[in-house]
């Protein structure tokens, strides 16, 4: 009879996410993972597979949570432009913490299709929601009517990545807020 697990898999996975966020895939060792996850090496392999499988699971969990948080902010206000502002403000407020999604793009680009597919699926959900809110904001007169909502969504996604990278590069809170304001201003 197999022994029951003596750890919470979701907590262990969240700990792995923290390590991968900070160090990337290549910069993370199995020792760093087992120490952060507070599990033995064999438990890591038995439960999560190898380091690559754990990384993919971490990216999947992280981008799903980030997508939900983006959507909640985007939908948090009745007026569409205020929902967009809330999403930008949330991103700026959290930009100081490394983003596993952006980091995985920087580390692998499209060279690891299985990770790109995970990111792309979450990205499509966010993009579709942004497009919808941009259309609403256009009909409410808050976003320029000559802007293509799909292009706006792409611009905001690129701006978000840029803000996160600026934060990792040492931009201070004032600078990050300015980037967020300029992103919103571009919609007028």
152 Cα distance to chain centroid: 18
Contact 136, 149 (CB under 8 A): no
Question: In the 8-state DSSP scheme, what is residue 148?
Answer: -
What's the pLDDT at 1?
Answer: 47
Q: Which domains does the chain have, with CATH numbers?
A: 59-185 (1.10.357.10)
CA geometry: angle at 19 spanning 14 and 23, to 5°?
150
What's the pLDDT at 150?
Answer: 98
What's the pLDDT at 3?
Answer: 56
pTM over 0.75: yes
CA geometry: angle at 65 spanning 29 and 96, to 5°?
65
Give the helix ranges, DSSP H, for 24-112.
Answer: 30-37, 41-48, 51-74, 80-94, 100-108
Q: Which residues of the chain have pLDDT under 70?
A: 1-5
């Amino acid at each position: 009879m197999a022994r029951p697990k003596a750890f919470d898999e979701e907590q262990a996975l969240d700990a792995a996410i923290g390590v991968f966020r900070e160090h990337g895939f290549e910069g993370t060792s199995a020792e760093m993972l087992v120490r952060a996850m507070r599990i033995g090496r064999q438990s890591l392999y038995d439960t999560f597979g190898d380091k690559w499988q754990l990384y993919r699971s971490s990216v999947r969990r992280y981008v799903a949570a980030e997508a939900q948080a983006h959507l909640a902010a985007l939908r948090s206000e009745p007026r569409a432009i205020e929902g967009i502002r809330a999403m930008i403000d949330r991103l700026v407020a959290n930009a100081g913490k490394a983003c596993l999604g952006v980091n995985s793009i920087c580390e692998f680009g499209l060279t690891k299709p299985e990770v790109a597919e995970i990111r792309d699926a979450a990205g499509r959900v966010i993009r579709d929601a942004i497009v919808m809110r941009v259309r609403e904001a256009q009909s409410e007169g808050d976003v320029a009517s000559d802007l293509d909502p799909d292009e706006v969504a792409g611009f905001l996604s690129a701006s978000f990545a840029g803000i996160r990278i600026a934060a990792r590069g040492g931009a201070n809170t004032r600078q990050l807020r300015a980037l967020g304001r300029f992103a919103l201003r571009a919609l007028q």
